[in-house]
Structure formats: C-alpha cells, structure tokens
Homo-oligomer: A and B are copies of this chain.
C-alpha cells in the first residue's frame, strides 16, 4: 500500500534512478548460450511504468524491442489457466525450485511433475497443455499477448527461435524425461517448437509493462475493463511469480524489491505492484544467476523511493 496518497511523479522518479544507475559501472555478462542473444548491444537500458489508470511513463530505450525470453512463461501460464483452470495443478506444482533453473534432478526425483510453471520444465508442460487445447497454438498465443499489450505489432523472432532450437538439448532432455513419466501428451518436437516460439517473443519495455497490468488490476484489462482471468487467478499468478519468478534468486528479489517479478535472460525484468502499476526494466548484462544486474538495482531503488512493497 503506498504511503503517498497523492499521485506520484513517476516520470521524474524513473528519470532520476535511470540517470543514477546509468552512471554506475556494472560487471554483468550478456547471455551467450545462443548466438542470436549474444549480438545485442550490452549498453541498452530502458525503463517503463504503466499504472492501472493507463498512464504510461518511460525512459531510455524503453520503446525498443528485445527478447523477453522466460518472461513469456507468464503469458502461457495465464492462457493455460484460462483454458483448463485448476486442472493445470495436477501436472505442475507451485513450489519454488530451490535449484538452478535448468536442473533435471528434482524433475526426476519428483516423477516428472515440475516444481512450478515458471521453470523450463513447467513451461514445457504448459506448452503441452496449449497444444492439446488450441487449434493453432502459436497463432493464438501471439494474439493473446497482443491483446494484453493492446498492440498488434508483437511477433516471434524466428532467428532467435531457430537458434534456441539448435542449442536446446537440455530442454529436449527435460521434455523427454517428462514424457517418460507420462506428463507430456503431445509429440516432443511439437512441444519444443511452441516453447521456442514462446521464448522468442519480442516486446518493448512499455508493451511489457502494459501487458502485465492485468496482474495489477485483478485480472481485468485496464484499457477496456474486460475480465481476462478471475481476480482470484490473478492473485494466484502473482503469488507464483513472487515465489518462483527468479529461479534461484526468488527469495532475494522478494527480499530486496518486495514485489512479484519475473526476469528473462534477455535482460528484461517486469514487476507488479497490485492495484497500482507494472514496471519493466531492460538491460542485457546479467548477474551470475542470470538476472539483469541494472534491472535488480533499478527496481530496488524504485520500490524504496516510492515505498512500494506488498509487505
């Protein structure tokens, strides 16, 4: 709950923090596991904030497209919940993984039930659900994201998609292992294809902030008031994002930033302040846990300055 009851000057605040953080050196490293990601300019830096009253603010490279990578897992999760509801939780759990994000250990120990829908294995199960439920999953997923972002100009990047496919042997290991436990219904290659399309989505900071507003707004689109998912589902997605959104740094993010947030190896982070705003930061240099270094710093400073915290 904000301590300020008058409208804050968000633009001024993000400008100030942007300037401050721009001047700091950072030692992060751009994700390099696929060539298509390595090519990004490491100095890109953008911040965007949108409120549930549809005010949007931005600074730096906030209108430039970048690869949202794992952040897209929140979109597939939301769509799957909309389609099959609580039945999803028979096939994927909601517990933090407590292990690095690409570990097969827990998955084997827990008989092919992924710990949560925001780790790779969980997102693969979610993709499997979409394939079973939708006629044209790739097209309908894209339309869903375009609707949330209120913007038709959002697409998969086929070069990134291709690059992921060629280096995705670990994901192929995950999906085959789950298939061996009967937790994948469709053909493994089809599941991987949707998964890599999902990861290759490109959006700008402002599009991403807009599209995450439904989680700040009880499941409703702020610009039409259409109820996309129930208020209860929206809260539960926030809870899952908070406990599981940062791989093995979820506790740290909750601890330092105090909001539900999701990161991607493309250097994007989006955080949600319920009933108020969604905020996105993009800076490609990552810390050792694969999360944007500047992104973490900006959000910690921002929530401190605006006294935004769910705690």
Task: List chain A positions with a Cβ less than 8 A from chain B.
Answer: 1, 93-99, 103-106, 108-109, 115-116, 167, 169-170, 172-174, 176-177, 179-180, 188, 232, 234-236, 238-240, 242-244, 248-252, 254-256, 258, 260, 274-275, 304, 309-311
Contacts and interface: CB of A to CB of B under 8 A. Distances in A.
Nearest to A309: B235
Interface of A, secondary structure class, is: helix
Nearest to A232: B304
A81 to B, nearest CB: 12
A248 B250 CA distance: 15
A99 to B, nearest CB: 6
Given A95-B252, A99-B98, A243-B242, A180 B169 contact: yes
B275 A1 contact: yes
B104 A173 contact: yes
A251 B93 contact: yes
Contact of A311 (B98, B174, B242, B249): B242
Contacts of A275: 1
A93 B256 CA distance: 13
A179 B173 CA distance: 9
Contact of A105 (B105, B173, B180, B304): B105
A103 B298 CA distance: 36
B239 A251 contact: yes
Contacts of A240: 251, 254-255
A311 B176 contact: no
A239 B97 CA distance: 17
A255 B274 contact: no
A258 B243 contact: no
A236 B239 CA distance: 16
